[in-house]
Amino acid sequence: MTPAAATFPALKVLSRPDPWRGGVVLAALLLALPVLVVFSFVFAPAGEVWLHLKQTVLQEYITNSLVLLLGVGVGVLAIGIPAAWMVSLCEFPGRRLFEWGLLLPMAMPAYIIAYTYTGMLDFAGPVQTQLRDWFGWGYGDYWFPDVRSLPGAVTMLSLVQYPYVYLLSRAAFLEQSICVLEVSRTLGTGPWAGFARVALPLARPAIITGLSLALMETLADYGTVQYFGLATFTTGIFRTWFGLGDPAAAAQLSAVLMSFVFVLILLERWSRRRARFHHTSTRYSHLPRYQLRGWRRIGAIVGCSIPVLFGFLLPALQLGAWAVDTVDAWLKADFFHLVANSLMLAAITAVLAVALALLMAYGRRLRSSRPVDLAVRVASMGYAVPGTVIAVGVILPFAWLDNTLDAFMRAQFDISTGLILSGTLVALVFAYCVRFLAVSLNTVEAGLGKIKPSMDDAARCLGLAPRRVLREVHMPIMRGSLLTALLLVFVDVLKELPATLILRPFNFNTLAVRTFELASDERLADSASAALAIVLAGIVPVILLSRTIGRSRPGHDQTVC
């Protein structure tokens, strides 16, 4: 090879901008902006408010957040792992029902379950009223646990976040080669010992992944802790910004919160990497389940019922009852307006997030290289970043841009442009894209990965440029994945609370915001219809999920044409 030939490819990259590589990197930089902005405040000089926070509440934020993490961690493991083990490796009546039923609490946003239980269990609620009726107690005669407390928050969050652990450990149990389990049985381990000594260690990376996802959600939670009056990072960021009026200190708090998140991201990445080395054998066959009899069978049924009952059925019924009670009120009120707002936001974001995911996934397929891969990974980090932090990271640069533009236009043309970005839906939709790109990207990448590279080659030999290959070959083939991605983002946007609270334009309400506002005003029954709408929408991805995991076991499916 001549030296000239060796330098040519490098020249080509420099001289001709590549739209795919450029597009991916540019989009990734844009999506990483909020996190980068928040982190830039780590190096900002500590202001008066920050010093004040440090002296007074920072300690409490950290303690509360750690206790919350620890409690929810124990809670989701205690519910998720046994449930996953029972439905995937044992046989008992109702097992198939529990298989997807155990996913239902995913449809229940934490803030909704929190105030539903508050309404059910407070002094005037149905439970205490019934108890007083039965035992003839009066006010002050008895002790009843207060839901609005740290243990209450731990319980609420555990009830709706255990499905992460359940889902991933169930998948891990199903993927375990039956050979390994059978070998362990021929070596004299019974079902319980087999679980403890073989299945559990093999599934550990998956369980840790699920745990870290649940803990990320716990850190991101704003609605529950705010409603329960607990001082954590997310509520602190709100208070610092809107109460003390100091965005810089809020960003600094966000940066501290992000350091917690990064520990979880590292934990997740580390466990996912380890998971690859844990499959020694690739032979799968139908899993012979342990037949449960007698008290074990009853134990399994009761054990699987509790999380479904308390995590979904009871609160959903309560919401339904309240919604029926207040039917006239919400039919008259702005309910349909709220629905329209929510649907519009969700639809716009879903389309945008899927389009971005297609750009990223296809760009990576065409131009896999270290910068492109890194860009895609950075862009999909948003799922771990709490909505509050993203909101802070969005509004700071957007407001600066708006003010700069406004000042410039005033000075030059005597026109005030006002807030083009930060005060409008643009900021909100952008924040949603940052937060939920990973959701669409995962689905789109999985769909694209199933299309063999020879399809691309064949289409190009038949005269199609890469962009048209995407449109005429890939998109029709992966229609199902695209639809799933749209739906998942759509529902996540419907449920999102903290970023919406901060970034929504003045007087613009969504279902989630209205639910939270009404609940905060102790008008629980009035908020039930909006909450119920969110919960019902949340069931859609649960159904999708249960269908995919049912088919995901190697050896059971796969006729990808």
Partner 1 sequence: MTKLLDVENIDVGYGNHTVVFDAALHLTKGAIGVLLGPSGCGKTTLLRAIAGFEPVQSGRILLAGDEVSRPGWTLPPEKRQVGMVFQDFALFPHLTVADNIAFGIRRWPSDKRAARVQELLQLVGLPQYGKNYPHALSGGQQQRVALARALAPKPRLLLLDEPFSSMDVELRESLAREVRTILKHEGITGLMVTHDQFEAFAIADRIAVMHGGRILQWDTAYNLYHQPADRQVADFIGQGVLLQGMVVGETMVETPLGPIAGKVPEGCRKGCPVDVLIRPDDLMLDPASALQAEVVDKAFRGAVFLYTLRLPSGATVLCQAPSHHDHAIGERVGLRPDFDHLAVFPRRE
Residues forming contacts to partner 1 in the complex (CB under 8 A) are: 1-2, 4-6, 8-9, 11-12, 452, 454-455, 457-465, 473, 476-477, 479, 559, 561
Instruction: Provide the b/e sequence for 91-111 (b: ≥16 CB within 10 Å).
Output: bbeebeebbbbbbbbbbbbbb
Dist. CA 509–CA 501, nearest whole Å: 9
**425: Cβ contacts below 8 Å, ≥ 6 apart:** 345, 348, 505, 508
Nearest distance from C-beta of residue 7 to partner 1, angstroms: 8
Nearest distance from C-beta of residue 475 to partner 1, angstroms: 10
From the list 291, 20, 329, 315, the residue with the least C-alpha distance to 155 is: 315
Cβ closest to partner 1, residue 1 vs residue 415:
1
Cβ closest to partner 1, residue 468 vs residue 523:
468
Nearest distance from C-beta of residue 372 to partner 1, angstroms: 15
Nearest distance from C-beta of residue 453 to partner 1, angstroms: 9
Cα-based angle 331, 311, 298 (whole degrees, multiple of 5): 130
Q: Distances in Å between the alpha carbon of 346 and those of 229, 430, 442? A: 29, 12, 18
Cβ-based burial of 196 (10 A; exposed 0-12, middle 13-18, buried ≥19):
exposed
> What does the DSSP assignment read for 452-490?
-HHHHHHHHHTT--HHHHIIIIIHHHTHHHHHHHHHHHH
Cβ closest to partner 1, residue 8 vs residue 134:
8
Nearest distance from C-beta of residue 440 to partner 1, angstroms: 21
Nearest distance from C-beta of residue 113 to partner 1, angstroms: 42
Q: Which two tokens stand for residue 105?
A: 């609490």
Dist. CA 77–CA 90, nearest whole Å: 19
**Do residues 121 and 323 touch, judged by C-beta distance below 8 A?**
no
Beta-carbon count within 10 A of 471 CB: 12
Handedness of CA 101, 102, 108, 109 (dihedral sign): negative
Cβ closest to partner 1, residue 56 vs residue 559:
559
Cβ closest to partner 1, residue 245 vs residue 449:
449
Our separate counts of H helices and E strands in the chain read: 28, 2
**404: Cβ contacts below 8 Å, ≥ 6 apart:** none
Nearest distance from C-beta of residue 481 to partner 1, angstroms: 13
**Do residues 88 and 288 touch, judged by C-beta distance below 8 A?**
no
Cβ closest to partner 1, residue 55 vs residue 454:
454
Nearest distance from C-beta of residue 488 to partner 1, angstroms: 23
Instruction: Provide, for the chain, the percentages of residues in helix, strand and coil under a 3-state DSSP scheme, each rounded to the nearest 5.
Output: 80, 0, 20
Nearest distance from C-beta of residue 556 to partner 1, angstroms: 19
Work out the angle between the directed axes of helices 247-275 and 200-220 (0-180°, nearest 10).
Answer: 170
From the list 239, 273, 466, the residue with the least C-alpha distance to 364 is: 466
From the list 103, 213, 209, the residue with the least C-alpha distance to 163 is: 103
Nearest distance from C-beta of residue 490 to partner 1, angstroms: 24
Cβ closest to partner 1, residue 423 vs residue 466:
466
Nearest distance from C-beta of residue 6 to partner 1, angstroms: 8
Cβ closest to partner 1, residue 366 vs residue 543:
366
**Do residues 355 and 203 touch, judged by C-beta distance below 8 A?**
no
Give φ, ψ of 291 to 5 degrees. -80, 120
Dist. CA 104–CA 299, nearest whole Å: 21
Nearest distance from C-beta of residue 463 to partner 1, angstroms: 5
Which residue type occupies 413? F
Q: Which two tokens stand for residue 278?
A: 């844990």
Cβ closest to partner 1, residue 369 vs residue 404:
369
Cβ closest to partner 1, residue 337 vs residue 452:
452
Dist. CA 21–CA 319, nearest whole Å: 49
Cβ closest to partner 1, residue 31 vs residue 358:
358
Cβ closest to partner 1, residue 348 vs residue 477:
477
Cβ closest to partner 1, residue 252 vs residue 484:
484
Cβ closest to partner 1, residue 276 vs residue 370:
370
Dist. CA 504–CA 510, nearest whole Å: 9
Nearest distance from C-beta of residue 467 to partner 1, angstroms: 11
Nearest distance from C-beta of residue 462 to partner 1, angstroms: 3
